């Protein structure tokens, strides 16, 4: 696992449009809003299981139906492909929950 270069980060964020980059910290953050707490927690449970499976864990905050997630890789003190993969997984899980709720 290597620390992503600025170019690699730009390329990765092209498909993670809702994520905000903190270039100094080497982290990406996104806010999600769900219909209610149950949906928000269900999302967090899915992400938690995937995080354990990949041994790559989020920094997150939840209040009622809102979840803020930040991905960064402590081991490289910046962003790695693990962060990109997990952000993509979060977006897919969010879309599935919103689609199921529709």
Ligand X SMILES: C[C@H](O)[C@H](O)[C@H]1CNC2=NC(N)=NC(=O)C2=N1
Nearer to ligand X, 34 or 56 (CB): 56
Nearer to ligand X, 2 or 74 (CB): 74
| C-beta of residue 86 within 8 angstroms of C-beta of residue 51 | yes
Six-digit token string for 5: 């270069």
Nearer to ligand X, 39 or 79 (CB): 79
CA separation for the pair 42, 3 (Å, rounded): 31
Six-digit token string for 43: 């999302």
The count of residues interacting with ligand X (CB under 6 A) is 7
Site for ligand X in 30-89 (CB under 6 A): 55-57, 72-75
Per-residue DSSP letter, 17: T
Interface residues toward ligand X, by CB under 6 A: 55-57, 72-75
């Amino acid at each position: 696992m290597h620390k992503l270069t600025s170019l690699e980060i730009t390329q990765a964020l092209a498909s993670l449009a809702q994520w905000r980059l903190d270039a100094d910290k080497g982290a990406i953050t996104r806010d999600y809003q769900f219909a209610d707490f149950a949906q928000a927690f269900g999302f967090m449970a899915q992400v938690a299981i995937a995080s354990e499976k990949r041994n790559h864990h989020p920094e997150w905050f939840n209040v009622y139906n809102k979840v803020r997630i930040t991905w960064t890789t402590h081991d490289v003190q910046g962003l790695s492909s693990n962060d990109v993969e997990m952000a993509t997984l979060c977006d897919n899980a969010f879309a599935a929950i919103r689609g199921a709720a529709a």
